[in-house]
A = this chain, B = another copy of it.
């Protein structure tokens, strides 16, 4: 018989003892979880919040007047909902204005194409720029090419985004958008256009953030809609010499102050310990930011409200954080981590909702592996919420909390079905009609159940599994 390592044995005993100690509390929490789930699923609150935000504020790009309107909206909404504590924390955000963007094939088959500027892109010269295009299947193919093939041309990265339940195709193709301009400029290109990082066939381009690198020429960067990327391929099949004219006038306009807006349900017995559920308040400018991330805002604000409506507060504080300026580089998330550096040790666990409003089908966590069983026991009532699976211990937590695991904070990822998320993501099509209220309510219920379970849990989540 193998000897059982002392540490594991100790942990097992500790777990068993904790289990004993908490039986009654756990049973009460499980009962409250079912109450929460029933209340959330029969409520339209989450959807009403998304409607309120997208109709009364609409698009709210970081650093704009609308962004500040969204901050006021959020403060007021937390008040209306009766949160225990409401405050905002300043975040310095860069201002980037989209301006207009147009493109046309000038030869061999002159015609307009549909593009949109990528976030952070510089402008073309006032009268535009015109050059031959050179096509690559992927960013990797561009990086592997001879600079002579690219010099003086407009790079076209044609990477198709695969449809997947968890949006995994995005991760494979998005590098061309975010880092393509650097790679293209390093080879001597004068501009870059990428096939939209999206799974749709709509003639709408998907915007999104791109980056430059110090010491590398900053070239204009735009996305083509899928049908327009196809159109370039049809042309290249007929004639390898296709010239494109681009005209874009986006502007970087310095910095503004935005805010992370926070509402809390104050913990009853351990108010200083924090269960954080978040979403981001900013959006891109071309849609109304319903899926990205109005849905998340509705989900976490409503989840907190349902917990407020329980007969008693949970042990820990549930902190609902609406982050500023996620789209333009997780600015609010980073600012939060910095501002709360000393308090992070009191962050019990954190999770962000930022993937639309599809069904939640699994919850992954990132906690002390020895405590996974206890955590799953705590989260067990979620399995009755449309059969949410208790998943793995490899969670990332969501964009604005993605820096927290490295700082010791346990996180969770409530995985959503996202087959169609990248049909609409970062386009004018991100509007509230794409949200199914029933699915959103299931999300609200799941976040409420998660937050309650964690706020009352007696598991020792640290050190987490992956930093």
B231:A55 contact, CB within 8 angstroms = yes
The verdict on A413 contacting chain B, using a C-beta distance below 8 Å, is no
Bound CA span A122–B288, Å = 29
A57 to B231, CA, bound (A): 11
Contact B109 A202 (CB under 8 A): no
Q: A230's contact among B227, B427, B429, B433, by CB below 8 Å, is which?
A: B433
Determine if A127 is an interface residue (Cβ-Cβ < 8 Å).
Answer: no
Q: Does A114 contact B (CB under 8 A)?
A: yes
Are B204 and A203 in contact, with the CB atoms below 8 A? yes
CA distance A234 to B294 in the complex (A): 16
Residue A453 interfacial (CB < 8 Å) = no
8 Å CB interface, A413-455 against B? 427-429, 431-434
A287 at the interface (CB under 8 A from B): yes
Asked whether any CB of chain B lies closer than 8 Å to the CB of A51, the reply is yes
CB-based contact A429/B202 at 8 Å: yes
A217-245: CB near B (< 8 Å → 1, else 0) gives 00000000011001100110010000000
Residues of B within 8 A of A146 (CB): none
A59 located at the interface, meaning its Cβ lies under 8 Å from any Cβ of chain B in the complex: yes
With A57-B109, A230-B432 already in contact, the answer to whether A202 and B202 are too (CB < 8 A) is yes
Please tell me if the beta carbons of B238 and A201 are within 8 angstroms of each other in the complex. Answer: no
Interface size range of chain A in the complex: 20 to 34
Segment 39-59 of A: residues with Cβ below 8 Å from B: 51, 55-59
Is A312 engaged at the interface, CB distance under 8 Å to the other chain? no
A226 pairs with B58, CB closer than 8 A = no
A287 in complex: contacting residue of B203, B230, B235, B427, CB < 8 Å: B203
Q: Which residues of B contact A6 (CB under 8 A)?
A: none
Query: In A281-312, which residues have CB < 8 Å from any B CB?
Result: 287-288
User: Which B residues touch A287, using CB under 8 A?
Assistant: 203
- Asked whether B109 lies within 8 Å of A227 as measured between CB atoms, the reply is no
> Among the listed B55, B114, B431, B432, which residue makes an inter-chain contact with A109, where contact means beta carbons less than 8 Å apart?
B55
**Chain B, Cβ-Cβ closest to A231:** B55
By a CB distance below 8 angstroms, the chain B residues around A80 are none
The answer to whether A58 and B111 touch (CB under 8 A), given A201-B433, A203-B428, is yes
Chain B residues with Cβ below 8 Å from A57 are: 109, 111
Contact (Cβ within 8 A) A288 B231: yes
Please name all residues of chain B whose beta carbon is closer than 8 Å to the beta carbon of A429 when the two chains form the complex.
Answer: 202-203, 227
Q: Are A55 and B203 neighbours in the complex by a CB distance under 8 Å?
A: no
**Per-residue 0/1 for A101-120: is the Cβ within 8 Å of any B Cβ (1 yes, 0 no)?**
00000000111101000000
Q: Is the CB of B433 within 8 A of A56?
A: no
B-side contacts of A58, CB under 8 Å? 109-112, 231
| Complex: chain B residue closest to A200, CB-CB | B202
**CB closest residue in chain B, given A285:** B112
Q: Bound state CA distance, A57 and B204, in angstroms?
A: 21
Q: What's the Cα separation between A231 and B51 when bound, in Å? A: 9
Distance (Å) between the CB of A463 and the closest chain B CB?
46
CB distance from A122 to the nearest CB of B (A): 24
Taken together as a complex, chains A and B put the C-alpha atoms of A427 and B227 apart, in Å, by 13
Q: Give Cα A201–Cα B429 distance, bound, in whole angstroms.
A: 8
| Beta-carbon contact of A55 and B288 below 8 Å | no
A201 vs B202: C-alpha distance when bound (angstroms): 11
Contact B434 A201 (CB under 8 A): yes
Task: Give the shortest distance, in Å, between A34 (CB) and chain B (any CB).
Answer: 33
Provide a sorted-by-A list of 6 A–B residue pairs whose CB atoms are within 8 angstroms: A56-B238, A58-B109, A59-B111, A201-B431, A226-B433, A231-B288
10 closest Cβ pairs, A-B complex: A58-B111, A227-B431, A203-B428, A55-B234, A203-B429, A201-B433, A56-B109, A227-B433, A202-B429, A203-B431
